[in-house]
Amino acid sequence: MNIENQKSSLRLSLKTKWFEMTKAGIKPEDYREINRYWCRRLLEFDDETEVIDWGRLIEDLSNPEKIHEDIYECLSFYGARFKKFDVNIMTLGYPKSTDTERILNLEHKGIEIRTGNPEWGAELNKKYFVIIHGAVENKRVFCRRIKAGMYYVKIGKYEYEIYNYGYYAPDKCIWWEAVNLATNEADFHEHTKWELIKQMQYELL
């Protein structure tokens, strides 16, 4: 479970070179071919659009100025627009959801169609869907219930089990505790599970 509010995300798999460059902030955009698969993933169409001539659409998107004023007029002609997302989830290959070292959450800053940078993997003078990245969203938390009052939590590279120790009479309150699985030390204590996880995020990320 991700404790962030539900967001619309675009998940993209990368090879090691491009993932590391993206993670380092060197590569601020990603390129995808203008083909039927990526048109379906990155475009949405008006409800009244019943039949799509994919071959013609792909040809026009690859060279929009041939017939249309610009790319937006071209999209409008087909009753299409770029989908809107909140987050670009960039992954190194196809990791498990707990493997946060291979998952990078970036703010989604939009989609364009244009040429790309050959140093970032684009072919010279070729048009692509260009997916633009913003700031890193580094508040990702994985949380899984083990049993009542006990959870497994992974924040970045740190793994914990958190426990509800119930009501503690001397303090007149309920306490939750987070135990580091690497050291077996109880590193964090709070009165509620969500306060505990927020404190862990603040200290560990």
Instruction: Give a yes or no: residue 18 inside a domain.
Output: yes
Rounded-to-integer distance, Cα 146 and Cα 156, Å? 19
Instruction: Give a yes or no: residue 1 inside a domain.
Output: no
Instruction: Give a yes or no: residue 197 inside a domain.
Output: yes
Checking if the pLDDT of 144 tops 70, the result is yes
Instruction: Give a yes or no: residue 97 inside a domain.
Output: yes
Instruction: Give a yes or no: residue 98 inside a domain.
Output: yes
pLDDT for 125 equals 94
The pLDDT tens digits for 30-69 are 999 999 999 999 999 998 887 889 999 999 999 988 888 8
Do 148 and 66 lie in a common domain?
no
Do 123 and 177 lie in a common domain?
no
Containing structural domain, residue 168: 141-204
Instruction: Give a yes or no: residue 92 inside a domain.
Output: yes
pLDDT for 155 equals 85
Q: 86: Cβ–Cβ under 8 A, 6 or more apart, which residues?
A: 7, 8, 9, 107, 108
The pLDDT tens digits for 153-184 are 988 788 999 999 899 888 899 999 999 999 99
Do 147 and 117 lie in a common domain?
no
| Both structure tokens of 56 | 């013609």
Do 102 and 19 lie in a common domain?
yes
The pLDDT tens digits for 89-111 are 999 999 987 788 899 989 999 99
CA 25 to chain centre: 15
More confident: 24 or 114: 114
Do 79 and 165 lie in a common domain?
no
**How many domains does one find in the chain?**
2
Question: What is the C-alpha R_g of the chain?
Answer: 23
Residue 122 to residues 13, 32, 45, 182, 193, Cα–Cα distance (Å): 16, 9, 27, 42, 46
Instruction: Give a yes or no: residue 23 inside a domain.
Output: yes
- Of 82, 117, 136, the position where a domain reaches its end is 136
Do 115 and 150 lie in a common domain?
no
The letter for the amino acid at 144 is R
Cα angle for residues 69, 75, 77 (degrees, 5° grid): 75
Do 57 and 118 lie in a common domain?
yes
- Of 136, 154, 187, the position where a domain reaches its end is 136
Q: Which residue has the tokens 């790309």?
A: 116
Instruction: Give a yes or no: residue 27 inside a domain.
Output: yes
Do 129 and 151 lie in a common domain?
no
| Both structure tokens of 68 | 């249309």
Do 126 and 187 lie in a common domain?
no
Q: What is the mean pLDDT of residues 115-121?
A: 95
Do 29 and 129 lie in a common domain?
yes
Rounded-to-integer distance, Cα 203 and Cα 74, Å? 49
Do 100 and 196 lie in a common domain?
no
